[in-house]
Structure 1
């Protein structure tokens, strides 16, 4: 008698045997074939579940297709003082452009014509990083010449004005905070920052 059977009063169903528990003792090719059959059943069931999940998602998803010569905007991410503070603070994504599509590269990627001042930025982008241009543009579209874009499609923004002040009370100390507006960003991107850091790196805000 196996230890599991002695402890629980029934035989153990191991990953190598999913059949009903009984006294059948398969040997050699029989156990190998049974294992293969059961593994295939599990794979078929998993494939069915994944197919259902994909169909649910596809009902609300639309394919983004661009033709050669279409004008598109490129999604970029403003970062709060990455180089200055050594910490990342990603804000809401923005779009720069427009740029012209050159060709489709693979099922979900496009090559676009980038200006020379973009430097070493690769010119192939996933379709989710692009937005079609339709003439009248929204406020969060930026002039690419107004920012210094990095190869990972981020750029550094600087604060322009102190909008509010408050103090954060901790156990043993009080930390003064300031709410800042950021260059080329909307009110939804106002953020609270430590006043000591802002005085050190952006003294012009307190002049």
Structure 2
């Protein structure tokens, strides 16, 4: 018994074979041929709808480029429990701005990542050494202090 039959105490009439509840005479190759035709029709319509939606998205997806002097809004990512701009929860702004672009800076991608090969021990661990310590700070709580180190 299918879950539909268990819940409603009658068989489910699918759109592949619309028959009256008492009719059970359609058996054999004709029924199979009707069902395969309906399935092909459904697949063709779903493919057409998917292609149409993809063409809508492809038209809208473009790389954004801004010039000096343009005004832009910056997206603020919502974080739970963090008050941004004096408002928390649903009323916190999603975008802030407008800000004017004063300078366009294009960095050389070659110097961004400084790659050093890792030396891995036999137990798949490695020693990570800080390059330099930029700042130290200690946060005092009620019972203990937490030291922060900016590397």
TM-score calculated relative to the size of structure 2: 0.41
Greater gyration radius: 2
More strand by share: 1
Larger RCO, structures 1/2 (Cα 8 Å, 6+ apart): 1
